[in-house]
Amino acid sequence: MRFTRWIDPTEMLIYVDGSCIGQGGTEADAYRRAGCAFVFGPTSWYGQGSHVLRLEMRGSDHQEHAVTSNRAELHAAIAALRYHRWDSEGWRKITIASNSSYLVDGITRHIETWQGNGWRNSRGQPVANKDF
According to the model, what pLDDT value does residue 108 have?
92
3-state secondary structure of 6: coil
Residues 14, 94 contacting (CB under 8 angstroms): yes
For residue 83, being part of any structural domain is answered with yes
For residue 2, being part of any structural domain is answered with no
Residues in the chain predicted with pLDDT less than 70, given as ranges, are 1-7, 24-31, 42-48, 132
Residues 10, 91 contacting (CB under 8 angstroms): yes
What is the number of domains present in the chain?
1
For residue 126, being part of any structural domain is answered with no
According to the model, what pLDDT value does residue 77 have?
94
Look up the domain containing 59 and give its range. Answer: 11-100
According to the model, what pLDDT value does residue 57 have?
78
Give the domain CATH number at 74.
Answer: 3.30.420.10
According to the model, what pLDDT value does residue 56 have?
80
For residue 121, being part of any structural domain is answered with no
According to the model, what pLDDT value does residue 103 have?
94
Model pTM score: 0.79
Q: What is the DSSP string of 20-68?
A: EES-SSTGGGGG-EEEEEEEEEETTS--SEEEEEEPPSB-TTS-B----
Residues 6+ apart with CB under 8 A from 60: 131, 132
